[in-house]
Structure 1
Amino acid sequence: MLGLLPLVLAVGCTSKAPAQNVEAVATPIFTSNADAPSNAATLNVTSSGQLGKIVVDREGFTLYRFDKDTAKPPKANCAGSCALTWLPVPGDDPGITVQGINQSLVGQVQRADETSQLTLGGWPLYRYAQDHKPGDTAGQGQQGAWFAITPDGKKAGSP
């Protein structure tokens, strides 16, 4: 009988309440380049043909925004299998640096899975798994909802 006590206690402690949506506010999280550790996340700006200026990560991979997310308030809606193709850019690195981007536009949002994701202009940032080398922009226009992001948080290639 005592052997069942932990199971009874564990079952009695689980909540059947539905998960609640939490609205998040983008929180600025950056440091100066001098203070950043050498392996810190970095956002850079590069020029990409017809797309113009776009944001890339420290390895030169294009970063994207998703039209089904929201910027005000910031909310990431790509989860599950979507997040296996569109990789959320982690936002929990205290040493994030930015180059060529207004630092006040960089923040983070808490995802439904309790992880933190980097934002730009309130838009959650993603890397496309099918971009195989730095500079690839294969994710541009995918499903009519995915776009490389500009340094001011807008869709690349838009007028």
Structure 2
Amino acid sequence: MWRWNAGSTGGYRLEIDGLVYANAAFAQGELEGAILNERTYRLNDLMRAEQVFTYRYDFDSNWSHRILVESAVQADDLPGYATVLAGARASPPESLDGPEAYRSFRRATARDALSHQAHAYRLLVGDDYDPDRYDRQAANAALQRLARNRWADE
């Protein structure tokens, strides 16, 4: 799970079917074109199976993710929040400044985990960070926290 609010200098947006959804307060003057206020839409109303969308955040660091919705089901009997059934790999650490820094981290730690460069990265991201580990329980807990905060209702 990524943080949906990347901070006052970063921002985030979803690009779905050619439309841009973003935090309206942040988007004013920061993004070009028409911006739809993300707080007035629900993902389940925008998503469908086999759909690809783009999630961009922290524009200063240029993080961009293409996400494929493999399947979607109507779940009227569930508690009202999304559930992750499967996933792969950990999200990139926030302490790395963009995709190029993440690629450099991966190369350095794969080549020689005991090198000075790999050690410097470990100090930055933490010894317990494993880029290949995916924690489905943590992802679902984050979704539940989002649902309880009811950010879309503000």
Q: Do they superpose with TM above 0.5?
A: no
TM-score range, shorter chain: under 0.3
Query: Whose relative contact order is higher, 1 or 2, with alpha carbons under 8 Å and at least 6 apart?
Result: 1
- Name the structure with the higher helix share: 2
Q: What TM-score does the superposition give when structure 2 sets the normalisation length?
A: 0.24
- Name the structure with the higher strand share: 1
Q: What TM-score does the superposition give when structure 1 sets the normalisation length?
A: 0.24
